[in-house]
C-alpha cells in the first residue's frame, strides 16, 4: 500500500483534508434549495463509502509496504473492525447534528462551534493516547483556534435579531455535535496499527480502517437518518419513499460529490497520521473551521447584515486561525 513517510507531504495532505472538510457542506447548501438534507445525507454517505473503497483498491493495494486491502481484511481482529465501525457510527451521529445545525443557523456558526469543540476534544484525547509533538506549541495552537471560535460567536451575536432566528437552537445542536465528533477519530485510530510500513497483526491499515468506518457511517443511517426523516429538527416530516420519488440524477450526484469530497479528507488525514501523529493530523484537518468560515463570510454572505465595525473582528478571527494552525504544524518539529 502507499505509505507517506515525509512530514512535509503529510502536512500537505492534512491541508487537503482541511479544504475538503471545510468545503463539502457547500454541496448540501446547493442541494437544500430543492432537496431536504435528510435525503441529501443518504447520497453523501454513499459517496463517503465509494471513495473509501476506491482508495482501498488502488492506493491501499499497491506498493511493497504494509498489507494489501484484501489481505488486511482477512487478518483483522473483530476488536479492530468493531472499533472502526463505532468510529463511523459516532461520527455519523455528530455529523447529522452538524448538518442540522448548518440548516438552522448557517455554516459560519455551526462549523466554528461544532468543529471547534471537536478540535479541542479530539486533539486532547488523541494526544493522550499517542503523544506525538511538542505539547506546548500544540495546545497553544489549539487555544488560538478556540479564541477564533469565540470571536466568531461574538460576530454572530451582532447580527440583527431578525437574521438570528434559530441561532440558539443551532448553537445547542452544534455543541452536542462537537462533543460527539471529538471522539470519533480516536475509535478509528485505535483500530489501526501504529506502524504503517510493518503493521501489527490483528490491526487495520489506514485504508481498511476508513472502509469499515464508512460502512459504520452508512449502516447507522438506517437508525439516525430514518429518525430525523420521521421527526426532523425543522420543517415537516420527510416521506420514507421521497428519496426514490422526488430526486433526480443531478441532486443525487451533488450528494455523492459531497461525500466523496469529505472522504478524500478523511482518507488523507488517516494516511498522514503515520508521520504526523493522530493529534496533529486531526487538529490540522479541523482547520476546516477556517475554510468553512471563509465560505460563510465571503461566498454565502452570512455576515452581510453585521455592523461594519465587525470587519476587524472577522480579520482577527482568521489571524488567530492561521497562527494557531501554524503552531500545530510546528509542534511536530519543535
In eight-state DSSP terms, residue 250 is H
Cβ proximity of 286 and 320 under 8 Å:
no
pLDDT at 217 over 50: yes
- d(CA 190, CA 209) in angstroms, rounded, equals 10
User: Mind giving me the DSSP string for 54-88?
Assistant: HHHHTTTTSSSSS--HHHHHHH--HHHHHHHHHHH
**Could you read off the pLDDT of 246-293 as tens digits, one per residue?**
999 999 999 999 999 999 999 999 999 999 999 999 999 888 877 877
CA atoms within 13 A on the CB side of 309: 2
Rounded percentage of the chain residues whose pLDDT exceeds 90: 65
Rounded Cα distance, 334 and 180, in Å: 31
pTM of the model: 0.90
> Which DSSP category does 305 fall into?
T
Are the beta carbons of 229 and 238 closer than 8 angstroms? yes
Which is it for the CA torsion 324, 191, 201, 71, positive or negative?
A: negative
pLDDT tens figures, 244-257: 999 999 999 999 99
Amino acid at each position: 500500500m502507499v505509505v507517506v513517510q515525509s512530514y512535509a507531504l503529510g502536512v500537505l495532505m492534512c491541508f487537503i483534508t482541511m479544504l475538503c472538510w471545510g468545503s463539502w457542506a457547500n454541496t448540501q447548501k446547493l442541494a437544500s434549495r430543492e432537496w431536504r438534507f435528510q435525503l441529501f445525507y443518504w447520497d453523501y454517505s454513499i459517496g463517503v463509502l465509494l471513495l473509501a473503497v476506491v482508495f482501498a483498491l488502488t492506493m491501499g493495494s499497491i506498493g511493497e509496504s504494509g498489507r494489501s486491502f484484501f489481505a488486511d481484511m482477512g487478518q483483522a481482529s473483530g476488536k479492530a473492525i468493531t472499533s472502526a465501525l463505532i468510529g463511523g457510527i459516532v461520527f455519523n451521529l455528530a455529523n447529522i447534528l452538524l448538518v442540522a445545525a448548518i440548516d438552522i443557523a448557517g455554516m459560519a456558526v455551526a462549523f466554528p462551534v461544532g468543529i471547534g469543540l471537536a478540535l479541542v476534544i479530539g486533539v486532547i484525547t488523541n494526544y493522550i493516547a499517542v503523544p506525538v509533538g511538542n505539547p506546548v506549541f500544540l495546545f497553544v495552537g489549539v487555544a488560538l483556534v478556540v479564541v477564533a471560535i469565540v470571536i466568531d460567536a461574538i460576530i454572530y451575536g451582532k447580527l440583527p435579531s431578525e437574521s438570528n432566528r434559530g441561532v440558539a437552537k443551532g448553537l445547542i445542536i452544534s455543541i452536542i455535535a462537537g462533543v460527539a465528533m471529538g471522539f470519533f477519530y480516536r475509535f478509528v485510530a485505535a483500530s489501526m496499527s501504529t506502524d504503517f510500513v510493518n503493521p501489527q497483526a490483528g490491526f487495520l491499515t489506514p485504508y481498511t480502517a476508513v472502509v469499515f468506518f464508512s460502512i459504520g457511517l452508512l449502516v447507522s443511517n438506517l437508525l439516525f437518518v430514518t429518525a430525523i426523516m420521521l421527526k426532523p429538527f425543522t420543517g415537516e416530516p420527510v416521506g420514507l419513499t421521497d428519496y426514490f420519488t422526488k430526486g433526480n440524477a443531478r441532486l443525487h450526484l451533488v450528494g455523492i460529490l459531497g461525500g466523496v469530497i469529505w472522504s478524500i479528507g478523511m482518507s488523507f488525514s488517516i494516511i498522514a497520521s503515520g508521520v504526523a501523529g493522530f493529534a496533529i493530523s486531526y487538529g490540522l484537518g479541523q482547520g476546516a473551521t477556517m475554510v468553512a468560515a471563509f465560505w460563510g463570510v465571503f461566498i454565502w454572505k452570512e455576515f452581510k447584515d453585521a455592523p461594519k465595525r465587525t470587519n476587524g473582528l472577522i480579520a482577527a478571527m482568521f489571524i488567530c486561525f492561521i497562527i494557531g494552525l501554524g503552531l500545530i504544524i510546528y509542534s511536530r518539529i519543535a
